[in-house]
Amino acid sequence: MDRLNLLSFTPFRLNRLAAEFSTALTADYARFGIDIPEWRVLATLGMHDGPRSANYVVRCTRTHKSRISRAVGQLTELGLVERQESDDDRREIMLQLTPRGREVYRELVPLLLAREEQLLSGLSAAQRRALDDALLTLEQSLGLMNCQP
């Protein structure tokens, strides 16, 4: 019988690293009263100038729609996100950052980029480029949606 060494199994390793990165970033989100799913919504909307559908956020973040829905509800209560009906389809909900949401986004981004820098500090510039290239290749090969603005 073949045995799987979990610690060398790529999906497990990626998941474990993602969990560590998320844990490290959580303190930064918490300063603004938000959690990981709420940050994902804020970040996705913050990449764009105009509104985006809730389904777009779900597809970009690969987060279950119920978690995104709860996050949007919380962000709406906090006054960071506003909902509106789509002009094209009244059943579709469009989301956008409020002025306060943009302000929180602008305050959080430098903190998170500094934390990312800290987390990646063990890699050389060449290793970072190689990691970025490998991740991009994996994202493309898996058909993940390109959510760039």
> Containing domain of residue 22, as a range?
9-141
In a domain, 107, yes or no: yes
Per-residue pLDDT of 11-35, as tens digits, reads 999 999 999 999 999 999 999 999 9
At 15, which amino acid appears? Answer: N
Q: Sorting pLDDT into bands at 50, 70 and 90, what band is 58?
A: very high
Binning the chain into helix, strand and coil, the percentages to the nearest 5 are 65, 10, 30
In a domain, 2, yes or no: no
Q: Residue 59 and residue 144: Cα distance in Å, rounded?
A: 8
**Residue corresponding to tokens 């970009």:** 60
CATH number for position 50 = 1.10.10.10
- Where are the strands (E) in 86-145, listed by range? 93-97
In a domain, 122, yes or no: yes
Q: Residue 78 and residue 96: Cα distance in Å, rounded?
A: 13
In a domain, 147, yes or no: no
Q: Residue 54 and residue 85: Cα distance in Å, rounded?
A: 11
Number of domains in the chain: 1
**Residue corresponding to tokens 């597809």:** 59
In a domain, 21, yes or no: yes
Q: Residue 58 and residue 144: Cα distance in Å, rounded?
A: 12
At 44, which amino acid appears? Answer: T
In a domain, 69, yes or no: yes
In a domain, 4, yes or no: no
How many Cβ atoms sit within 10 Å of the Cβ of residue 140? 10
Q: What is the pLDDT of residue 149?
A: 64
Q: Sorting pLDDT into bands at 50, 70 and 90, what band is 37?
A: very high
What is the model's pTM? 0.88
* Angle between helix 36-46 and helix 99-119 axes, rounded to 10 deg: 110
Q: Sorting pLDDT into bands at 50, 70 and 90, what band is 68?
A: very high
In a domain, 146, yes or no: no
